[in-house]
Amino acid sequence: MSITHYFQREISIPTKGSILLFGPRMTGKTSLLLKENFEATYDLLNQDLELKFRVRPELLFEECKKLPPGSRIFIDEVQKVPALLNSVQRGIDQLKQDYILSGSSARKLKRGGANLLGGRALDLKLYPLSQKELGSKFNLLQVLKFGTLPKIYSEQMMSEEIANDYLSSYVSTYIREEIQAEAATRNIGAFQRFLPIAAQSNAQTIQFETISRESSTPASTVKNYYQILEDTLLGLFLWPYSRSERKKIRPKFYFFDTGVVRALQNQIGILPSSSEYGFLFETWMINECIRINEYEKKRFHFSFWRERKNEIDLCVSKGNKVILGAEFKWGPETIPSETSRKFHLTFPQAELTLVSPHKNSPGITPLLFIQKLRNL
């Protein structure tokens, strides 16, 4: 059964106008878009088609001229032939056609100086499944162990062994090969050493020098590798709250999916420890907030707060004002009174919330927090 039969996606695809839809592999971009009606479809995973357009990218415009004005054209994995975007722009401007473009990364387009259509296309992102998209199939323990890539989550409902195989394949064939190609480096060993070390540092403050030392890779290269992961939507930096850009020097980094980060840590098939569940829970919550912000166009800004030994995992800002703080705990722990006091002194108008799935926690459940964020 197609994964599109399982889940109703939150993202809204406009029926008019051109769009650029980017997201990591296996988030369901192609399955989602193929439910739309198109006058022409081009799949650049087809090597013959890719080669044809690499040799003569202008052929796309010549073929689209045969279609009527108002036609919708779907191009999948457009980053494989960046030069096609010149023909896309001509099609939008001269032929009055709509182009639906998807890909796993805009990095290759930007790096190659490709035409990014200058505001002619709506920029959208697709992520792994949100809690709302999972609906009645949501299971927190399964989410933390396997992540929410649609294909993998569907498989684990029937066979954990097969889901583990897909996670291993995802890491070996996509991240280690394709993202390595994005790194534009001949030093294959350095990138392969970097990935598991970066995964072990997931949801923690990044010490670039430490990771540089542990991976025997220059710190400048480590920073570039992290930027590649962020540009390809495989993770994100969360920066400490500060009104001074100069002080934002030690971010946290969160991989985009808990199943993928466990695969990178070589933890597939192993029951997470209590401390690992804590990092996985925080990772999932941060990513869930990102998805809500993107899909519902909330325009929140996210950061974390730290003052000496006091820290709060997430600050939600609107405009220049922090309106909500959240601390994510896997167990029944509370927010230290001194941390709470200093947070409220710093942000007197902000609400501070403890979020935990533990039955003995004095805080609110993850689902209640998600609903709170959606209602802001």
Q: Where are the domains of the chain?
A: 3-125, 129-236+258-272
CA distances from 83 to 67, 180, 345, 351 (A): 21, 22, 53, 49
* Domain 3-125 of CATH type 3.40.50.300: yes
Q: According to the model, what pLDDT value does residue 190 have?
A: 82
**How far apart, in whole angstroms, are the C-alpha atoms of residue 78 and residue 43?**
8
Q: According to the model, what pLDDT value does residue 108 have?
A: 66
Task: Show the tokens assigned to 276.
Answer: 């690992």
Cα angle 344, 346, 350; round to 5: 50
Q: According to the model, what pLDDT value does residue 184 have?
A: 54
Distance, C-alpha 284 to centroid of its chain? 11
* HSE-CB of 17 using CA atoms within 13 angstroms: 13
Name residues of the chain where pLDDT drops below 50: 1-4, 113
Q: According to the model, what pLDDT value does residue 116 have?
A: 66
**How far apart, in whole angstroms, are the C-alpha atoms of residue 318 and residue 135?**
28
pTM score, whole prediction: 0.93
Distance, C-alpha 277 to centroid of its chain? 20
Is 269:307 a contact under the CB 8 Å cutoff? no
Q: Rounded to 5 degrees, what are φ and ψ at 314?
A: -145, 130
Q: Rounded to 5 degrees, what are φ and ψ at 310?
A: -95, 135
Rg of the chain over Cα atoms, rounded to whole angstroms, equals 22
Burial tier of 317 (Cβ tally within 10 Å: 0-12, 13-18, 19+): middle
**How far apart, in whole angstroms, are the C-alpha atoms of residue 264 and residue 171?**
7
Q: Which residues of 100-114 are buried (b: 16+ CB within 10 A; e: fewer)?
A: bbbbbbbbbbeeeeb
Q: According to the model, what pLDDT value does residue 111 have?
A: 60
- Going by C-alpha positions, the residue among 342, 343, 308, 306 that lies closest to residue 323 is 343
Task: Show the tokens assigned to 232.
Answer: 């390809």
